Structure 1
Amino acid sequence: MGNQTPCEKLYLGLKKVKPYLAMVSLQFGYAGMYIITMVSLKHGMSHYILAVYRHVVATIVIAPFAFVLERKIRPKLTLPIFLRIMALGFLEPVLDQNLYYLGMKYTSATFASATVNALPAITFIMALIFRLETVNFKKLHSAAKVVGTVITVTGAMAMTLYKGPIIDFIRSHGAAHRGTTSNASGNQHWLTGTLMLLGSCCGWAGFFILQSFTLKKYPAELSLTALICMTGMVEGAAVSLVMERDMNAWKLGFDSRLLAAAYSGVVCSGIAYYVQGVVIRKKGPVFVTSFSPLCMIITAALGSIVLSEQIHLGSIIGAILIVFGLYTVVWGKSKDSISSSTMELTNEKGGPQDQLPIQDSSKLSSANFANSTPGPDDGMSKQIPPKIYNH
């Protein structure tokens, strides 16, 4: 280790920093998706059709990689697994994204990205319900998961019920003048949009819970992702045909609509799945989750600059509570994983492996003593002297 060249040290340093750079870049990608999607929705694009086109692009991108890379390890697709995939295709591509796009349209891109920070807490609550997570209040890190969940939900409620005065980080008189004319109509839909965003988080959390069960029966991540995108595309198209009767809404030009569909499909449904999978294998899901508040900060900055969105005091207070609660949950989860791995190592080192040799040695010593000691009724033991074992 001491004889490493400067190039080797640089390579090892970049290898350690690579997961951090990947997750930070991914948060910029998500923040860009929020801004581009908001622009396309303001230009009249239907969020139902946007969700369909997004998964058309994602299927085209992911399916070839899944077909080539997992052709030897892909398990057989049975009817129960297919029904689970159909449910997954409805929960995230249809229910979650449509509620999210509609909620973002009624509120703002900054508020929508901040509300998504409640996702880990909602997922934790659902994991408790389905017995995928346990809580022991006698341990500090285990109680921290519950306390962090309560703080996160409190922050989400603060953002919902309290707006407060406008905080101008970047002063723009034109934006403030425009905001006075649109606030009256925006306030009417703010509560509805918030409820839709929370419903979107519940759908996304349910997607994670069902995905964890499905991966145990169908352990092929790329193939499962491609199938989810394909079924979500079909189900979303059926919903869109019912909700959008005007066929002209399906037309795309070289504008923000095409950019939103292509960008969100490639970056947020294609590259994001791959990057998250690689980082989770190296660092674990807790590491990936800890970067989600960064997206809120990036989106708030971009939304204020690009879209001239107004940031209220209630959004800042709620965002601070959400971030604090989120990191409390993440800390508890990290300590929980460390304690569970320590218990496994303790069981491996101090478990049956340490006891079996003692029992076996005592049995072997007693057996050797019985074989070497002549018995009154054992003629063979008298004929074979103990010295024969020295040869």
Structure 2
Amino acid sequence: MAMILLQLCYAVVTLSARVTLVNGTSPRVFILYRQVFATIFIFPFLYFSRYETVNIRNIRGLAKISGAVLCVVGAISMTLLRGPKILNSESTLPLENSLLGDLTDQNMWLIGCLCVFASTVCYSLWLTFQVPVSAYYPDHLSLSAWMCLFGTIQCAVVTFFFDKDPNAWIIHSYSELATCLYAGVVSSALAFTVQAWVISKRGPLFSAMFNPLCTVIVTILASLILREEMFTGSLIGGICVIMGLYIVLWGKAEDVMINQEQRDITNNSGVKIQIEDSPNTVNCNGDLKNPLLS
């Protein structure tokens, strides 16, 4: 439930950010303000207050692989496949106002795909690194606060060199301010904390597998709110994403049961020894796999 709500929040950020950026806001300034608001929001709360295994010989292990592939294929098909139109024969946002300019320029399209791919690789590494970090630093709120702070510093440095025009740093409307606030407070501060908690409980794969769901939500909301076109390929891709997600979750269910059994065994590993001719009982917490006496 937490991950589904998280993807819904990401979808709202994606739609609102598109409207804001198309109106002329600098992407670097937008991300900077997002990190600033996230840091400001999360630090007061801070003040007051396993890696993934796959067994290809097991049907659930195969379900993880096939479900993940199905999700990826579905997400890609939603972007690349067209087919007959289902909703909205015309888009209200013209192509010349796109963030990448004229989408007919194949070079810019390729650069955009490479940038998104690099971003996805970095995001995957970030999810994976949170597993060992959570083991040594289990305070999710504090960890999220520090991530927001360092993200703010990095964005400030980059924005300072690329956006030297003072007018680019000015928020011109309440909608831009609301978008930055929502993106910072919900999509960064709260999202980082929830994501770290989910990863500590279920691992990075469980968290990552919900990301394609955001694509489905964005496609539906963009068609209803922004009146963007929806094609048959989007519908087919969305169905593949949902099917793949359920397959992976079914494969992960066995891991959850195994981990619960291991925790139960660990909790019940303590034994009580009654010393002969002694009224007292000595508690010896040890590993039953090893002998108590050498």
TM-score between both structures, scaled by the size of structure 1 = 0.59
| Pair 1:308-2:224 in alignment | no
Q: State how 1:371-382 maps to structure 2 within 5 Å.
A: none
Identify the residue that residue 372 of structure 1 maps to in structure 2: none
Separation in 2, partners of 1:352, 1:259: 55
AA in 1 matched with 2:243: F
Q: Which of residues 242, 246, 266 in structure 2 aligns to 1:327?
A: 246
AA in 1 matched with 2:157: A
| Pair 1:185-2:95 in alignment | no
Separation in 2, partners of 1:63, 1:151: 39
Q: State how 1:33-182 maps to structure 2 within 5 Å.
A: 33-69=13-49, 132-159=51-78, 162-169=80-87, 171=88, 175=91, 178=94
Separation in 2, partners of 1:39, 1:236: 21
Bigger Rg over Cα = 1
Identify the residue that residue 251 of structure 1 maps to in structure 2: 170
Q: 1:228 to 1:29 in 2, by over 3 A?
A: same
Would the aligned equivalents of 2:223 and 2:229 in 1 still touch at CA under 8 Å? Answer: yes
Separation in 2, partners of 1:154, 1:23: 21
Would the aligned equivalents of 2:140 and 2:197 in 1 still touch at CA under 8 Å? Answer: no
* 3-state DSSP of counterpart to 2:24: coil
AA in 2 matched with 1:66: L
Q: 1:66 to 1:336 in 2, by over 3 A?
A: same
* 3-state DSSP of counterpart to 1:257: helix
Q: 1:178 to 1:290 in 2, by over 3 A?
A: closer
* 3-state DSSP of counterpart to 1:168: strand
Separation in 1, partners of 2:77, 2:179: 30
Would the aligned equivalents of 1:61 and 1:266 in 2 still touch at CA under 8 Å? Answer: yes
Q: Deviations along 1:157-208, whole A, 9 cap, x unmatched?
A: 4445x43235232x355x38956998x9324344443333232222111111
Identify the residue that residue 264 of structure 1 maps to in structure 2: 183
Separation in 2, partners of 1:67, 1:344: 32
AA in 1 matched with 2:83: P
Separation in 2, partners of 1:290, 1:152: 8
Q: 1:43 to 1:166 in 2, by over 3 A?
A: farther
Q: 1:302 to 1:194 in 2, by over 3 A?
A: same
The Cα RMSD (Å) is: 3.7
Q: CA deviation at 1:278?
A: 6.9
Would the aligned equivalents of 2:37 and 2:185 in 1 still touch at CA under 8 Å? Answer: yes
AA in 1 matched with 2:103: G
Q: State how 1:273-288 maps to structure 2 within 5 Å.
A: 273-274=192-193
More strand by proportion, 1 or 2?
A: 2
Would the aligned equivalents of 2:213 and 2:242 in 1 still touch at CA under 8 Å? Answer: no
Q: CA deviation at 1:65?
A: 0.9
Separation in 1, partners of 2:3, 2:131: 22
Q: 1:250 to 1:266 in 2, by over 3 A?
A: same
Q: 1:185 to 1:165 in 2, by over 3 A?
A: farther
**Which runs of 5 or more residues in structure 2 are unaligned?**
277-294
Separation in 1, partners of 2:237, 2:112: 16
Q: CA deviation at 1:24?
A: 5.4
Q: 1:213 to 1:34 in 2, by over 3 A?
A: same
AA in 1 matched with 2:252: K
| Pair 1:208-2:133 in alignment | no
Tell me the number of residue pairs that the alignment of Structure 1 and Structure 2 aligns.
272
Q: CA deviation at 1:311?
A: 2.3
| Pair 1:298-2:278 in alignment | no
**Which runs of 5 or more residues in structure 1 are unaligned?**
1-19, 70-130, 365-391
Would the aligned equivalents of 1:280 and 1:287 in 2 still touch at CA under 8 Å? Answer: yes
Would the aligned equivalents of 2:145 and 2:189 in 1 still touch at CA under 8 Å? Answer: no
Identify the residue that residue 289 of structure 2 maps to in structure 1: none
Separation in 2, partners of 1:318, 1:259: 32
Separation in 1, partners of 2:71, 2:176: 34
AA in 1 matched with 2:165: D
More helix by proportion, 1 or 2?
A: 1
Q: CA deviation at 1:220?
A: 1.9
AA in 1 matched with 2:168: A
Separation in 2, partners of 1:181, 1:227: 36
Identify the residue that residue 7 of structure 1 maps to in structure 2: none
Q: CA deviation at 1:62?
A: 0.4
Would the aligned equivalents of 2:130 and 2:199 in 1 still touch at CA under 8 Å? Answer: no
Q: Which moved more, 1:266-275 or 1:45-54?
A: 266-275
